[in-house]
Structure 1
């Protein structure tokens, strides 16, 4: 019995990740943010594919802390998650069956909300309640 959240292959995950980051690099606002941090795109894409394999297929091939990485970047803002998720959803619907795309999208949006909230908390001055 598989523990996967939904059926998907390694190849499908790799395709979505590669296609998505091609979009990101071309995006006028997100592209410069990513390229200021990513120096090895194939390695970055492999790491993110491992993240998704962990999140979807319950593999244990990813070891990292996305919240800490995004907060430490210094130029990642909560408002960037909306266009990021829009592009991710477009990529999912282009490359996956509708049900699989919807399931992955729901997971990505849940993770995105957590990261966005974490960045708001991280950026808020001590003692101040963050505003959305």
Structure 2
């Protein structure tokens, strides 16, 4: 069976560069930095894993083995309101690191994935009567 073509024109090196630049910004972000710091103790390994995630999602490589929904649901300190600043910071990084076409394509994919992750966190977080906690 022939390999699927990439979702858009980008190299694995470009993906790794974006991931590294993004997490450099995350580590100093006042809202996101502490959330990540509570879970990530080995940044190079984390960045390599996330590079594999995006290489899988974009290039159809099969090097990623993980369950992002479970990880985000089980983290305990990830809240639905965190996805908007996460995506804004990611979009900023994409615009800074890539061509406009690459940035637009990757952003669209990231927002689709972000909506799914946010929905999984909302599903887990319910108040009295099953009302979702959205912040």
Is this a same-fold pair by TM over 0.5? yes
Q: State TM-score, norm by structure 2.
A: 0.92
**Counterpart position of 1:65:** 67
Q: State TM-score, norm by structure 1.
A: 0.94
**Counterpart position of 1:7:** 9
CA displacement 1:6-34 (0-9 Å, x = unmatched): 11101100100000000000001110110
In structure 2, relative to structure 1, the CA distance for the partners of 1:31 and 1:37 (3 Å cut) is same
Alpha carbons 2:125, 2:133 under 8 Å: kept: no
Alpha carbons 2:19, 2:50 under 8 Å: kept: yes
**Counterpart position of 2:115:** 113
> Is 1:74 matched with 2:104?
no
Give the Cα–Cα distance (whole angstroms) in 2 for the partners of residues 86 and 5 of structure 1: 21
Structure 1 residues without counterparts, runs of 5 or longer: none
Shift of 1:128: 1.8
Give the Cα–Cα distance (whole angstroms) in 2 for the partners of residues 127 and 61 of structure 1: 41
- Structure 1 stretch 63-72 or stretch 2-11: which is displaced more? 2-11
**Counterpart position of 1:56:** 58
Give the Cα–Cα distance (whole angstroms) in 1 for the partners of residues 44 and 118 of structure 2: 25
**Counterpart position of 1:94:** 96
CA displacement 1:48-77 (0-9 Å, x = unmatched): 000000000011100100010011110000
Aligned-residue RMSD, C-alpha = 1.5
